C-alpha cells in the first residue's frame, strides 16, 4: 500500500465565497505563515436571533433537500462517499445543504432551538438525538409542533448520512475519532503534538472544521497528515458544529483507503457538536482548566456524550484559582466512570497517553 503525499503548508487558499456559483479548485499559493481570514461577500446577518415570545417563525423554514456535489470531487455511490480522491485541499461545502435543524441564534435565519440537557441528551442517534428531542420542553413556542417535525427530519437525515460515513470508514479499515471542545481549549495544538508523535508510524487523515478561515488547517500542514478542510460558512449556513452530511462532503478529498486513523476536529463549541454524530467510532473532548470547574454541570450534553475527557492546560494550574478535584466531582455526577487524562498540549505532558488511547480498538 503506497504512502500518500501530504500537501505542502499554506495550500488552503483564503478567498471570498462565491454564493450561487459552483465551488472551484484553486491552485495552492506559496506559504504565507499564519492564516488570515478571507473577505466575505455574505449578505448581512438576520437581525434578532430568538424570536419574541408568542411570535411565530417565518414560514418555509424546512430544510432544503439534496446537496450539490463539489466540483472536482469524487462522486458518491449509493449514498456512500467515494473513497480515495486527490490531495487534500480547501474544502468548500456543497451549495444547498440543509441546516442542522436545531436552529441557533447564529444569525443564520433558522428557527432557534433549545439544546437538551435531560437524560436523553447526547449523541444525535436514534437513542440520543431522538430521545433528547422527545424530552424537550417547547411549550414556550406557538410553533412547537412544527419545530419537532423539522428537527425530526434533520435528525433522520443526519443519522442516514452518519451510517453511510461509518460504512465507508469500516470498509477502508480506518478508525475515526470525533474531537470536540469549546473554542480555544487546545484541540489544534494537541493535534500538532499528536502528529509529531504518530505520523511516522500511522497514516493519519484530519477533517478540519471551522466556520471560516483555514488558520487551523494551515497549522496542521507539514506533519505528514492528509487534511480536508470544511468551512461551514460556505454552503452549510455557518453552523457551529460539523454534522454527518458535512463530513461526507470531505471524504472524497481524503485518501481514505490508505488511512489507518481519521481525526475529525470539530468546530469549537461546547454544546452543538455533541448533538450530531458524524459516523465516528469514538469521541474525545478537550477541556481546558481555564474554563472553570462548573462546566460539566452547565454544559452536560458534551460531557455525557464523550468517551474520553482530556483535561488540558494543566501547566497553568499553579497560576489559576482552579479546583481540579471539584471538577472531577462535577464530571462524575454528569458522566460517571468516564476516562480522564490530564495533559498539557503545550509542554507535551500526557500526550503520549492520548496517543496510546488513539491506538486502542474501538
For residue 186, is it within any domain? yes
344 occurs within a structural domain: yes
pLDDT at 135: 67
CATH number of the domain to which 187 belongs: 3.40.50.300
Q: Which DSSP category does 317 fall into?
A: G
Task: Output the pLDDT for position 138.
Answer: 85
What local confidence, expressed as pLDDT, does residue 127 receive?
Answer: 45
Tell me, yes or no, whether 228 lies in a domain: yes
Number of domains in the chain: 1
Asked whether residue 60 is domain-assigned, the answer is no
End-to-end, the C-alpha distance of the chain in Å comes to: 23
The number of C-alpha atoms within 13 Å of 57 and in the hemisphere containing its C-beta is 24
Range of the domain at 306: 129-358
Q: Is residue 205 part of a domain?
A: yes
What is the pLDDT at residue 132?
57
pLDDT digits (tens, 9 = 90+) for 185-216: 999 999 999 999 999 999 999 999 999 999 99
Place of cell 463539489: 70
Residue 12 in any domain: the answer is: no
| Greatest mean pLDDT range, 64-78, 143-157, 238-252 | 238-252
The pLDDT confidence band at residue 137, using thresholds 50, 70 and 90, is: confident
Weakest mean pLDDT among 142-151, 161-170, 197-206, 312-321: 142-151
Residue 101 covered by a domain:
no
- CA-to-CA distance for 300 and 292, rounded, in angstroms? 14
Cα–Cα dist 278/266, whole Å? 10
pLDDT attached to residue 151:
87
336 within some domain: yes
Amino acid at each position: 500500500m503506497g504512502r500518500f503525499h501530504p500537501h505542502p503548508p499554506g495550500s488552503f487558499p483564503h478567498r471570498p465565497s462565491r454564493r450561487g456559483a459552483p465551488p472551484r479548485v484553486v491552485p495552492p499559493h506559496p506559504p504565507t505563515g499564519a492564516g488570515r481570514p478571507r473577505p466575505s461577500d455574505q449578505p448581512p446577518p438576520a437581525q434578532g436571533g430568538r424570536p419574541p415570545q408568542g411570535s411565530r417563525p417565518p414560514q418555509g423554514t424546512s430544510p432544503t433537500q439534496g446537496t450539490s456535489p463539489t466540483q472536482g470531487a469524487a462522486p458518491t455511490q449509493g449514498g456512500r462517499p467515494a473513497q480515495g480522491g486527490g490531495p487534500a485541499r480547501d474544502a468548500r461545502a456543497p451549495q444547498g445543504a440543509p441546516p442542522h435543524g436545531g436552529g441557533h441564534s447564529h444569525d443564520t435565519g433558522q428557527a432557534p432551538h433549545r439544546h437538551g440537557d435531560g437524560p436523553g441528551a447526547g449523541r444525535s442517534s436514534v437513542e440520543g438525538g431522538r430521545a433528547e428531542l422527545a424530552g424537550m420542553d417547547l411549550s414556550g413556542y406557538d410553533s412547537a409542533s412544527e419545530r419537532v417535525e423539522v428537527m425530526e427530519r434533520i435528525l433522520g437525515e443526519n443519522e442516514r448520512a452518519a451510517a453511510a460515513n461509518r460504512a465507508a470508514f469500516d470498509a477502508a479499515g480506518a478508525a475515526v475519532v470525533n474531537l470536540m471542545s469549546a473554542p480555544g481549549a487546545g484541540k489544534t495544538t494537541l493535534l500538532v503534538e499528536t502528529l509529531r508523535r504518530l505520523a511516522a508510524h500511522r497514516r493519519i487523515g484530519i477533517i478540519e472544521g471551522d466556520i471560516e478561515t483555514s488558520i487551523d488547517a494551515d497549522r496542521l500542514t507539514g506533519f505528514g497528515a492528509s487534511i480536508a478542510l470544511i468551512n461551514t460558512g460556505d454552503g452549510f449556513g455557518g453552523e457551529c458544529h460539523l454534522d454527518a452530511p458535512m463530513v461526507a462532503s470531505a471524504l472524497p478529498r481524503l485518501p481514505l483507503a490508505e488511512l489507518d486513523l481519521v481525526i475529525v476536529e470539530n468546530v469549537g463549541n461546547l454544546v452543538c457538536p455533541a448533538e450530531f454524530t458524524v459516523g465516528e467510532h469514538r469521541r474525545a473532548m478537550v477541556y481546558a482548566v481555564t474554563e472553570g470547574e462548573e462546566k460539566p454541570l452547565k454544559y452536560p450534553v458534551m460531557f455525557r456524550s464523550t468517551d474520553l475527557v482530556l483535561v488540558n492546560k494543566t501547566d497553568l494550574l499553579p497560576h489559576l484559582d482552579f479546583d481540579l478535584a471539584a471538577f472531577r466531582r462535577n464530571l462524575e455526577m454528569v458522566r460517571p466512570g468516564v476516562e480522564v487524562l490530564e495533559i498539557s498540549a503545550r509542554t507535551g505532558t500526557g500526550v503520549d497517553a492520548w496517543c496510546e488511547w488513539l491506538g486502542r480498538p474501538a
